Structure 1
Amino acid sequence: MKNVTDRTSNPFGLRPPFDRTPDGERAAVFGYGDANADFHVIGDHPGVHGGKRTGVPFTETDAGIAVQNVFRETGFVAGAEDEPDCDDLYYSYLHMCCLPNGHEPTSREYDDLERYFDAELRAINAHILLPVGETAIDHVLRTYTTQRRRFDRDLDVAGLHASEIRGRGFLVVPIRTPDEWESDDRETIVSTVESILERDYRQTKGVATLVG
């Protein structure tokens, strides 16, 4: 049974390689939650999924709170909205650094942070990866599965939402960003997560069992 660390926020002491925020503002929104988790929720960056004020991923914004509430309903999250208690769940972003309001990370900036994201993902060593939104879904499919070539160049994120894709040591469950959810998208991802919980999803890393 793994026991990585009991620290909740930035459990591995990552330090962002650059800071483009004004003086006195938060430089980055680090990974947060149960570092021994089996479920790892992966967002895009703080400007999309929140945390520039709280320092916690998936807070503040409507999209972030909508994701958080999915995992409240499925039993992973309790406590305050801005500082939730996570059990068997870890949150992080592809691009942890905060940018001025209205700015999006460049391709170079995503690349600069990729090694930090990858190191943390492998340290968490979760069984289920749940990327949120097209950028995170595309990255996870390209990097942690051999399945990306099965899909069109432009991902059908609506079609992939709440599906189960076998990866290299992971089960990947894409989540459409809540800003684009349609009438039954929330219920669909809740149902998928509940279904995974009802079966034996665990595996020995490096050995093809549930996930190839």
Structure 2
Amino acid sequence: MQNVTDRTSNPFGLRPPFDRSDPGDQVAAFGYGDANADFHVIGDFPGIHGGETTGIPFTETEAGVEIQAVLRETGFVSGPRDKPVLENCFWDYVHMCSLPDGERPTDEDYADLERFFDAELRAINAHILLPVGARATDHVLREYTTQRHRFDLDMPSLHARDIRGRGFMVIPIADPVEWVDGDREAIVSKLEAVLASDYRQTKGVATLVG
């Protein structure tokens, strides 16, 4: 079943509960891309993965640009870097709102925005979840699999590994600023392998296993 929206940015019209952005910044980096996507890439917040001035996830910052480059290489992205065109891929953050320069979200801030992230994730209903970094990976494994207790939150060992969830396959991605030799190649190879597989069977298999 497909969604009934073709809007690229903020396709479900979410309204953030607060505006603490710096002058000239966007209120939030809203969910962006193909609302009918099979692949859902999940970052942390605009201050580290980008979008404070563009309003688009995975732009501007070193980490965001590197994630975007990997997705370009694997065929999900085309067009300008600051306003990319996504195919079969959707991007958002566990904390979408922009914050004052240098400020990080508190646990309370993440909790305030959890319902927005959860609503969007369930509306997209992708087959493959790709959380980027420790915070996003921890949240996705806790909330959308039954397997968080099986793993230490050790991103080098979780990177590019497939984990069965409750109706999803989860493939964590270590934050690009922490990548070492081979990490970029590992996630590119994993995505290429998934694309070459019958990944749409993930829904049924993961529901039984997770």
Equivalent residues of 2:22, 2:101 under 8 A apart: no
Distance 1:151 1:41 in 2: 20
Superposed displacement of residue 65, structure 1: 0.5
Q: Percent identity?
A: 66
Alignment of 1:113 with 2:139, yes or no, is no
Matches within 5 A, 1:1-212: 1-152=1-152, 155-203=153-201, 205=203, 208-209=204-205, 212=209
Distance 2:202 2:196 in 1: 18
Equivalent residues of 2:127, 2:202 under 8 A apart: no
Consecutive aligned runs of 4 or more in structure 1 exceeding 6 Å deviation: none
Superposed displacement of residue 204, structure 1: 7.9
Distance 1:129 1:92 in 2: 11
Equivalent residues of 2:31, 2:91 under 8 A apart: yes
Distance 2:145 2:77 in 1: 27
Distance 2:187 2:202 in 1: 25
Superposed displacement of residue 30, structure 1: 0.2
Superposed displacement of residue 26, structure 1: 1.5
Equivalent residues of 1:202, 1:210 under 8 A apart: no
Superposed displacement of residue 136, structure 1: 0.2
Instruction: Return the letter of the residue paired with 1:190.
Output: V
Distance 1:161 1:138 in 2: 13
TM-score of the two chains, using structure 1 as the length reference? 0.95
Distance 2:111 2:61 in 1: 25
Superposed displacement of residue 40, structure 1: 0.2
Instruction: Return the letter of the residue paired with 2:19.
Output: D
Superposed displacement of residue 209, structure 1: 2.4
Equivalent residues of 1:4, 1:124 under 8 A apart: no
TM-score of the two chains, using structure 2 as the length reference? 0.96
SS in 2 for 1:135: helix
Equivalent residues of 2:24, 2:53 under 8 A apart: no
Distance 2:23 2:179 in 1: 36
Equivalent residues of 1:56, 1:82 under 8 A apart: yes
Distance 2:25 2:61 in 1: 17
Distance 1:21 1:2 in 2: 34
Instruction: Return the letter of the residue paired with 2:205.
Output: T
- The change in CA–CA distance for 1:24 and 1:38 in structure 2 (over 3 A counts) is same
Cα deviation 1:126-157 (Å, max 9, x = unaligned) = 000000000000000000001100023xx111
SS in 1 for 2:200: coil
- The change in CA–CA distance for 1:25 and 1:65 in structure 2 (over 3 A counts) is closer
Distance 1:3 1:132 in 2: 25
Distance 1:3 1:104 in 2: 33
Q: How many positions carry a matched residue from both structures?
A: 208
Instruction: Return the letter of the residue paired with 2:165.
Output: G
Instruction: Return the letter of the residue paired with 2:169.
Output: L
Instruction: Return the letter of the residue paired with 2:72.
Output: R
Superposed displacement of residue 164, structure 1: 0.1
Instruction: Return the letter of the residue paired with 1:105.
Output: P
SS in 2 for 1:129: strand
